Amino acid sequence: MSTLMHVPKNGHGAQKKSSFPTWTNWIDDLFDTEHVPTVFSSNYNSGMSMPKVNIKETKDDYFVEMAVPGMKKSDFVIDLDNDILSVSAEHKEESETKEENYTRKEFGYSSFKRTFSLPESINESKINATYNDGILMIQLPKREEAKQKPIRSIKIS
C-alpha cells in the first residue's frame, strides 16, 4: 500500500551502504522486489508492471499522476473505501490471422492494482479523475479547513 508520502524502505534511502556487503544488506538486496521481480512480488507474472506514480501537492489539492499507456478509460476501476483509494485496471487483447496455409491466434492479459492511504483533509465528494495521452490524473481536493490560509498582517492597537 502506498501513501501520499514516500518513506525509504528499511531506511536504505537515508543511509549510505558500506563498500563491503554485510549479510543483512545481501539479504535485503536479494529480496528487493522494487527493482527485481521475484516470486515474492505481489505482481509476479501479471503481464503488466506496476505503473509509476507521481504525487504532488498544491495549496488546494493533491494530484496523483499514473503512467498507464495503451489503456482505455473503461479499463480502469477507481474505488474509495473509507480513506483508501484503489486504482486498478484490466486489459485483454486478442487477435487472429487466417491465411491459406495457417491460422495464428494471439491473446494477452494484463492487470494491476495500486492503493493509497488518503489523509483526512481530502474532500471525498469532489475527487475527480481524467485519462489523457496515457496518463491517469486523479485530483484530490482538500477540505476548506485544510487549505493553507494566506498571510495576514495584524495591526497593533
| CATH code of the domain in which 64 resides | 2.60.40.790
Domain membership flag for residue 33: no
Q: pLDDT band at 18, cuts 50/70/90?
A: very low
Q: Considering only CA atoms, which of 67, 150, 58 is closest in space to residue 114? A: 67
Mean pLDDT over all residues of the chain?
77
Domain membership flag for residue 62: yes
Domains identified in the chain, total number = 1
Between CA 109 and CA 115 the distance in angstroms is 21
Domain membership flag for residue 85: yes
pLDDT tens-digit profile of 85-140? 999 998 888 888 888 888 888 888 888 999 999 988 999 999 999 999 999 999 99
Give the containing element (helix H, strand E) for 105: strand 103-117
DSSP result, 127-152: -EEEEETTEEEEEEEBPGGGSPPPP-
Q: Quick check: 40 and 31 in contact, CB under 8 A?
A: yes
Between CA 139 and CA 57 the distance in angstroms is 10
> Average pLDDT for residues 16-27, to the nearest whole number?
52
- Which cell is 136 given? 491517469
Q: What percent of the chain has pLDDT over 90?
A: 36
Task: Work out the end-to-end distance of the chain between its first and last CA atoms, rounded to an integer number of angstroms.
Answer: 52
Q: Quick check: 4 and 116 in contact, CB under 8 A?
A: yes
- Which cell is 129 given? 479523475
The pLDDT value recorded for residue 92 is 83
pLDDT tens-digit profile of 32-46? 544 444 444 444 444
Q: Domain of 135?
A: 47-146
Comparing 92 with 15, the larger pLDDT belongs to 92
CA distances from 60 to 33, 49, 63, 137, 142 (A): 34, 31, 10, 16, 6
Domain membership flag for residue 108: yes
φ, ψ for residue 146, nearest 5 deg: -95, -15
Domain membership flag for residue 95: yes
